[in-house]
Structure 1
């Protein structure tokens, strides 16, 4: 087969490390969910996934379609594998889910430049139950961070809110890819609680709360609330005046939002 050159515009780095592939497969939950893969590339991860589950792959690069169709011709014929040529984010904009026939697990080596957007879309996808994805380590750390960690941010709060379980599966060095990226990567696992959803207003609230991560939280919240409102809610919830954004728990963020933003909206209506 002719050597395929990774395309920078699609953020392509082809995973070649079998050890990492095995770690991803070992992390797969034991369930009957179909697997959605975004950006299958040359199909190295796909080859492992189809041994265990039915797989639907979304690939934007037309040059890879023929390679994948040839490599997985048997799996396509037996309907074990389905390949969809589209920009997955554009598809998500028009559809509420990537799979309309039941629950699915997102397992993929994600293009770094859209990884955060894909994970956030998966949070909102009503049928996505488990997320096991390769991302830039710096991004993965933000999703998985605990309260008090320097990496704890709005993404961390969203993860803790939407999930019942989250962890880093494995840290992956640049040498595991062809071509090698300039940074470490990590595989993260987020198990969603499908009974919980995230509203856009709450996401906007968190964005403001973490707008200046090293400043006092009260300073950031002053963009939304008066000084009196902040003092009142701090007293009610027993929050210290000098607390920083990364030091407050997801439950308290939700309570601030409910007490001040939601209650204030209800009083005005």
Structure 2
């Protein structure tokens, strides 16, 4: 069977069996329920189905059905759903789920947010663009550090599993990749009633990276700048501090003390 990779779906297929086995092995999915996003021609799917309790694979490209149906015939624990994962109702599953996927670059962020927002997804191993992986793992005062870095690190333990050279894909993409490992925290780092405050504070703080926290928050919350400066100083921060200088713990501290709408 031949299949022409579709650019509109961000299709780049991996065929290196050693790499695929390593991803599955380090994802710790033995006897667990797995979701695969974009199984493509099923190279990773086969190894997942051989190790997991159950695999639910979401594929948006119906032209890949012949490849995937051939694999499905070999594994009773494999379910293939021809639907956009971003539109899928994952809440229908009551069991804990673990995502393993070679993610199309153009929808990396929406997939990340869906994983974070779905309570019964406990871990994820995602093949993503290396630059994006570095950004998600970035620490304060690094040029790639941003709001998503903080929100992800707040919600989960995040690490890099491995780098993957572009030559391991077909067709070969323009950039290298990496596999990121996300393990959600058992307990939130902040009280439930402060979570939305924390997330908004972080997002607004990075709206314009060149601006100070005071200027970004002034534009978002319309609180007097002198009052915002006093708020920062009273909590031990310079009134001229920028978002990129603050760690997750700093934003948690400020969210707990925040009293503005």
**Deviation at residue 200 of structure 1 after TM alignment:** 5.4
The residue aligned with 2:250 is 252
What secondary structure, in the 3-state scheme, does the structure 1 residue paired with 2:51 have?
A: coil
CA distance in 1, matches of 2:30, 2:231: 43
C-alpha RMSD over aligned residues: 2.0
CA distance in 2, matches of 1:236, 1:44: 56
CA distance in 2, matches of 1:200, 1:40: 34
Is 1:141 aligned to residue 134 of structure 2? yes
Q: 1:152 to 1:177 in 2, by over 3 A?
A: same
Is 1:35 aligned to residue 34 of structure 2? yes
TM-score normalised by length of structure 2: 0.89
Q: 1:240 to 1:178 in 2, by over 3 A?
A: same
**Which of 180, 189, 196 matches 1:188?**
180
**Which of 201, 204, 207 matches 1:208?**
204
On the 8 A contact 2:31/2:51 being kept in 1, the answer is no
CA distance in 1, matches of 2:240, 2:226: 16
Give unpaired runs (5+ residues) of structure 1: none
Give unpaired runs (5+ residues) of structure 2: none
On the 8 A contact 1:237/1:252 being kept in 2, the answer is no
The residue aligned with 2:164 is 172
1:227-238 correspondence to structure 2 within 5 Å:
227-238=225-236
The residue aligned with 1:103 is 96
CA distance in 2, matches of 1:233, 1:45: 51
TM-score normalised by length of structure 1: 0.87
Greater shift in the superposed pair: 123-132 or 134-143: 134-143
Aligned residues: 254
On the 8 A contact 2:38/2:103 being kept in 1, the answer is yes
